[in-house]
Structure 1
């Protein structure tokens, strides 16, 4: 998890060959991020500029590295403004010695962006809390100490079958709602 319970989620911003420079638990697709089209186009141009400024993963010139950092700081500030006060944006430049910068917007931010990133943050918190819920359920049912596995991408929990059964029983997220296990 990228933040403590009493802290704000941290959106990281860096190019990494994922068709996006925004990361919150994983790459954030531009089509689903809720940021303004103008800002998205700026982020895409910035990433393309990064790729164009490299030869064999080395900067062509120190000036291109400095420009990457300058533009990254400006864009990170814009992302922070659109996300508002409920998120931090971290920008770590690939320029040597540039360090890490964090930005936080003021006020509520863009409703579309805060809703998109807010849902992603809520899903991440839920995924983090799921194993504790499963452990508490096992303790309440007298099955404490049994093993289980949880797959956050699908929301599926795997619990052992009856004694002597060598397989596992997948438990889909909505199985309990249907009275299944």
Structure 2
């Protein structure tokens, strides 16, 4: 149906927010996104970093929140920050974060107005295109391998087929 969002589209358009020992709370595609790659305003980045720090400070030795109140406060601040991220990147991207009412549930936020920060919108659009290109390249490598298991290192472009020995660059064909 025209205009309908598929699961694949949603994956390419959803920014997830959660602390996970990656020096960022922003996740896109399969991994964390460095703040320097987001185009977000410095004030918002500072608040995201502070929110992540409070996450670690509000946990005990078993990595559980010290209280339900601390957990709820953290989730509430997370939703507020997700709203700010959403406002900066605009309606093209949804922001997923933990629900305040139920930490096992995810809230999905999407701005109703154009991006307040065109640089952030453009940065995530670029990340989206890179993600799609990488997935396409991975599918091509799999197809070229005839279904044989192949390891691919995207940063170097090297592939390695275990039973055939050393790898080769994608440029070498």
TM-score range (shorter-chain normalised) is 0.7 to 0.9
| Cα root mean square deviation, aligned | 2.8
Report what 2:37 is aligned to: 32
1:44 and 2:45 aligned: no
Where do 1:66-81 residues align within 5 Å?
Answer: 66-81=72-87
Unpaired runs of at least 5, structure 1: 139-143
Distance 1:89 1:146 in 2: 35
Deviation at 1:71, TM superposition (A): 0.5
Report what 1:87 is aligned to: 93
* 8 Å Cα contact 2:12/2:128 also seen in 1: no
* 8 Å Cα contact 2:142/2:150 also seen in 1: no
Deviation at 1:68, TM superposition (A): 0.6
Distance 1:8 1:61 in 2: 35
Report what 2:107 is aligned to: 101
Deviation at 1:13, TM superposition (A): 0.3
Distance 1:5 1:131 in 2: 17
1:124 and 2:112 aligned: no
Q: TM-score, normalised by structure 2?
A: 0.79
Deviates more, 1:25-34 or 1:68-77: 25-34
SS in 2 for 1:39: helix
Distance 1:33 1:96 in 2: 29
Report what 2:155 is aligned to: 154
Deviation at 1:152, TM superposition (A): 5.2
Distance verdict in 2 for CA 1:68–1:128, change over 3 Å? same
Report what 1:145 is aligned to: 146
SS in 1 for 2:95: strand
1:54 and 2:55 aligned: no
* 8 Å Cα contact 1:84/1:108 also seen in 2: yes
Report what 2:25 is aligned to: 21
Q: TM-score, normalised by structure 1?
A: 0.76
Q: Number of paired residues? A: 163
